[in-house]
Amino acid sequence: MLALVAVFCSAIFVGFAQAQNVSIELGADEIGANEPYTITLKLQNERLGQYGGFPNIPGFEKAGVSTSSSTNIVNGQISSSQSITQSYLPSEQGTFRLSPFTMSVNGKEVSSPGATITVGPPRQRSVQRPNFSDPLDELFGRDNQPEEFVDVKERAFLSLTSSKDDVYVGEGFTITLALYVSKQNLAELNFYQLGEQIADIRKQITPANVWEENFEIENISNQSVTINGEGYKQYKLYQATFYPNNTQSIAFPKVALKMIKYKIAKNPSFFGPRRQEDFITFTTKPINIKVKELPAHPLQASAAVGNYRLKEAVSNDRLTTGNSFTYTFTVQGEGNINYIAEPQLRNTDNFDFYDPTVARTINRRDNRVTGQKSFSYYAIPNEPGSYDLGKYLSWVFFNPRSEQYDTLIASTVLQVEGESRKNMQVDAQDAGPFYNKITSIDNTLKSRNNDGWLQLAANLIILGMLILTVVVVLKK
């Protein structure tokens, strides 16, 4: 009996010694119609980066993917393993062929010879006991001994950082919540209810007196960074740029993130558990942001804050009076794009400007918020000549880098040809019914000598009225 066990153990150890870092393990050749078939991708002492898709199997449907990882300590030596399992559900009974296939794992090609899979009638599933026993432990009298687990010290921390310590009112600063895991870390960590925790953290750290531009992190990925000469993997959990709207200082409290941490079996048995689930909480440090008031200026209350530049465009280079054109005044740069107000437009009789069409684009990447806001004016020139639009259009903002106010002034010069539209405007006005009848009245010259008898008759009538008036007065 002991000889058989020794041979069995030797075969196991030789198999492990000859195992490659990356391998493909196929499931059982015979399964029931109610049992899944599995293909498992295994990695030893190597982290999984990228891998190709699992193959399709005729007569089966892909059910889902599960992952697992473990860390072992044997005689002070630490080794790790990671596996990804693709499950397949049979759609009918019969014999099916899994053709040979190749998968790409971390840039390496791993091949499998395939298999013939027989799907039989459904099998009755046995109830598994909650506790497992290792037959080798029973053989050497080690049964009923509680497994001892080791807490491997983690090399990781949670951090809440700000891109700036003090800002002006309206100036943006970026807050980043990230988990940093050292590349030398040996403790196994997993996220725990991350969505719910991030939602709660966001409520705690979002100030009431700011405009927020959220970077909307949906997929948690890692990025290599160096801190104090040590390599880390940075996992960004939340990031946003805040623009304060008053001078009240902003205080960010310390926040906590709960994570799963696994303890490792000190003396793992062949059939026993190799790790034990536990929890660990990481906590950030509180930070404060000082907010300064903008320098005095006539437009202090409405001036945008940021680093901006001007871009112009005209729909037509050759303009004529009476024919419309479109002029676009675009403010580009870094800052609160939503807060950019319409440029100042001075009144003029040389052009008819109409209210602009507004469009904006906002980009959130590389820890910055950039973009542009465009104002497209529909206009009609009234007078020929050369016109500098800088006399009509300008936009004032505060630049926190130079700590001074600056003005974006239109630099486009328009050349307008054609006739003046001032006289056209006078002609187009309605002069009234008296002048409208001028063209329909006879304008032939006539002599006034033939009208003598009319004057005599009028004089006689007037004389008669005077005599009648005198008689009436005398009688009274």
pLDDT at 2 over 50: no
Neighbour count for residue 362 (Cβ, 10 Å):
13
Report pLDDT for 298.
93
Report pLDDT for 36.
87
Summarised one tens digit per residue, pLDDT across range 40-90 is: 888 887 766 677 788 889 988 887 676 766 655 454 565 667 788 888 888
Report pLDDT for 92.
87
- Compute the distance between CA of residue 86 and CA of residue 103 in angstroms, rounded to an integer: 13
Q: How far is CA 314 from CA 165, 330, 387, in A?
A: 42, 12, 13
Pairing of strands 393-399, 404-409: antiparallel
Summarised one tens digit per residue, pLDDT across range 272-291 is: 577 888 899 999 999 999 99
Summarised one tens digit per residue, pLDDT across range 204-232 is: 999 999 999 999 888 888 899 999 999 99
Contact 335, 383 (CB under 8 A): no
To the nearest whole percent, how much of the chain has pLDDT over 90?
50
Contact 32, 120 (CB under 8 A): yes
**Residue in 31, 38, 57 with CA at minimum distance from that of residue 122:** 31
Q: How far is CA 303 from CA 138, 328, 342, 390, in A?
A: 80, 20, 11, 19
- Compute the distance between CA of residue 218 and CA of residue 221 in angstroms, rounded to an integer: 9
Neighbour count for residue 338 (Cβ, 10 Å):
14
| Statement: the pTM of the whole predicted model exceeds 0.85 | no
DSSP per-residue string spanning 60-124: EEEEEEEEEEEEEEETTEEEEEEEEEEEEEESSSEEEEE--EEEEETTEEEEE--EEEEEES--P
Residue 216 falls in which region: left (phi positive, over 0), alpha (psi -120 to 50) or beta? left
